[in-house]
Structure 1
């Protein structure tokens, strides 16, 4: 699963993949994989990213949006 929000936050901060990779103590290739959804960030990395971008995990990964799509219709009355 690609994480477009991660790229959006990085570009808004005018940082390169290499800049963030260095901050997370990983290679640029590993960060690229994270941004493309081919790798998963650990809790420490998520907190570092949130601190860097001054956001929540929900903001960064769009969890709220995924939740709303997944639960759409749950409260509908079945008559």
Structure 2
């Protein structure tokens, strides 16, 4: 897997995205491990997403939305 360095000027957006994942995961009463299994990625990847440390592919975004019962728009609706 290729390591992609996130641009510092977008760090706050990755963090806001991650906070939305946490919010919707907890709303569905899922642990990180449960969500990871349902999305078919590693738990450490879910943790990194929630902490805003990694970017996310469209495939993962769409799977997250299916599992969390939300639209991509909701996932990107930063508070």
Same fold (TM over 0.5): yes
Residue 45 of structure 1 aligns to a residue whose secondary structure is: helix
Q: What's the CA shift for 1:36?
A: 1.1
Taking the aligned partners of 2:69 and 2:40, their CA distance within structure 1 comes to: 19
Q: Which residue of 1 aligns with 2:45?
A: 30
Q: Which protein has greater RCO, CA pairs closer than 8 Å, 6+ apart?
A: 2
Q: Which residue of 2 aligns with 1:46?
A: 61
**2:49 and 2:55 in contact (8 A); partners too:** yes
TM (norm. structure 1) is 0.70
The 5 Å alignment of 1:1-79 reads 1-2=14-15, 3-62=18-77
- Stretches of 4+ moved more than 3 A in 1? none
| Pair member with larger Rg | 1
Unaligned stretches of 5+ residues in structure 1: 66-79
Q: What's the CA shift for 1:24?
A: 2.1
- RMSD of aligned residue pairs (Cα, Å): 1.5
Unaligned stretches of 5+ residues in structure 2: 1-13
Q: What's the CA shift for 1:29?
A: 1.1
Taking the aligned partners of 1:55 and 1:29, their CA distance within structure 2 comes to: 22
